Amino acid sequence: MTATHVVQEFMDAVHTASDEVAFAGAASRLGEALGFRWFTYLSVDAGRPDVISTYPAIWSEHYLSSGYDQVDPVVAASRRQTIPFFWGALDGARPSDAAAVRLFDDAASFGIVSGLTVPLRGPKGRMALFTLSTDEVSPALLRRAEELKTYVQVCGLHLHNELAARVARFMPEHQKPALTPRQRACLLAAAEGQSAKQAARSIDLTPRTVQHHHEEARRRLGARSLTHAVALALRDGMIS
């Protein structure tokens, strides 16, 4: 089965998943099909981190109870960049920080020695990591990870958005990002395919003001683009 087919099966399974077990099952099948042993989705928002994973439960509990998310070099790297990256030193190099060394040693005792991680972003600085990991590290694995980066990134983003959508459906209204009437009107015009100039005529604003409302709405929603902002606003019922 090609990587494209594997990704499509994963996306279909995530879309129909009804609980955490189903999400983890879909990601586990994805990892196995791509040559990895484990999957984890780690949300590192403010407060206690949350994790969905196929790691041994004792390792996940140990990771969280030890506060390893605060010293994990993989988490730190994910805060600095947005592109997928491979971790696991081929030359046996180890981190210099004592806490990070302890983390890597503990992980290795469970067989976790390398992986491919996708940094994920959300509204209001929210961040998560989607990782496929395994018990080996080799030049062949590194080459495979390079070939699969784009596919795994698509999968991570899809899972992240699906989880965010489930949370948004049950989020109290006062916790959802607020948009002004003008911002909603400008997003609705964009959803209808209107350019900034066309929206300006229909809403009685200048094109520059429409663009300002687009950008402010995008910022408030934590969207990556105007198209993403429209999708989020439609999903959460802010425009229709």
d(Cα 74, Cα 22) in Å, to the nearest integer? Answer: 26
pLDDT at residue 92 in the model: 58
d(Cα 162, Cα 165) in Å, to the nearest integer? Answer: 5
Token duo for residue 44: 């590192």
Question: What percentage of the chain reaches a pLDDT higher than 70?
Answer: 89
Let me know if domain 179-235 sits in CATH 1.10.10.10. Answer: yes
Question: Which residues belong to CATH 3.30.450.80 in the chain?
Answer: 3-170
Query: Among residues 148, 130, 124, which one has the least CA distance to residue 52?
Result: 130
Question: What number does CATH give the domain 3-170?
Answer: 3.30.450.80
pLDDT band at 42 (very low <50, low <70, confident <90, very high): very high
Token duo for residue 206: 């200048």
- Over residues 80-139, the pLDDT tens digits come to 998 999 998 765 566 678 888 899 999 999 999 999 999 998 765 678 999 999 999 899
The pTM (predicted TM-score) of the whole model is 0.69
d(Cα 181, Cα 222) in Å, to the nearest integer? Answer: 18
